[in-house]
Amino acid sequence: MKRVQCLTLKCILQLVLLAGAILLLTGVVAYLFRYQLLTGLAGYLVIDDQLQPADLIFVLSGDVDTRPFRAAELFEQGLAPRIVVARAEDSPAAELGLYPNISDVTVEILQELGVPGENITLLHVEGGATSTRDEAIILRGYLEGHSFERIILVTSAFHTRRSRWIFERELALPGISLRLAAAPHRKYDVTTWWQVETGLIDFTNEYIKLGYYVLRYS
């Protein structure tokens, strides 16, 4: 009996040592290839398609320091004659008139950058858009009443994969061609995101939200 117990303890000790060695080796490899690993994980989030002339540019509400600037740049290049924005839900501060709606800010930036007001469409729905999925649903309703087929979707670089995932599912209309245009962040990219607090937050949030969307809407 004692011999059996001894053998069992010996096996357990060997397993613990083996697991420790594997963890140590994994840690060493991860450290040695940390740059490639961190860059690859961020790169997976980013989709930046080769763009072709389209019927409209749909810019997602959100990061007003990047997205409207990228949309205006594409408009200036002649890639589409119209920019469309789904108006976001008013924040409590916006309801009090103390802070503008983020979608209204997007429109104002587009106009400041030279996009004529008649070339901008702001889509209003009751309650406003509260998520990427809401924006996809709002765009679908807009497309059903028009003959547009080729869409350029502009959003933050780290937000592009999740956006494609949800827009392809929600649009699901015959003949629709969707291409992603990644708006680069001013302070980081896939090679430096872990060096900036904002990059760490955006990276973590996107993986969490991507996982949530896949589980919630698959």
What count of other Cβ atoms lies within 10 Å of the Cβ of residue 64?
16
pLDDT of residue 20: 76
DSSP-assigned beta bridge partners for residue 59: 154
- Residue 27 pLDDT: 66
In the three-class reduction of DSSP (H, G, I as helix; E, B as strand; rest coil), residue 155 is classed as: strand
Cβ-in-10-Å burial (0-12, 13-18, 19+) of 25 comes to exposed
Average pLDDT for 64-70: 97
User: Residues 75-111: pLDDT tens digits?
Assistant: 999 999 999 999 999 999 988 989 999 999 999 999 9
Can you give the pLDDT at residue 100? 93
List residues bridging with 129 in a β-sheet: 88
pLDDT at residue 3 greater than cutoff 60: no
Categorize the per-residue pLDDT at 66 as very low, low, confident or very high, splitting at 50, 70 and 90: very high
Percentage of the chain beyond pLDDT 70 is 92
CATH topology of domain 46-186: Rossmann fold (3.40.50)
Domain ranges of the chain: 46-186
Per-residue pLDDT at 120 exceeds 70: yes
* pLDDT of 67: 97
pLDDT value for 191: 95
Torsion of CA 102, 91, 214, 70, to 10 degrees: 10
Q: Taking a C-beta distance cutoff of 8 angstroms, is the pair 123, 86 a contact? A: yes
Question: Are residues 198 and 166 in contact, defined by beta-carbon separation less than 8 angstroms?
Answer: no
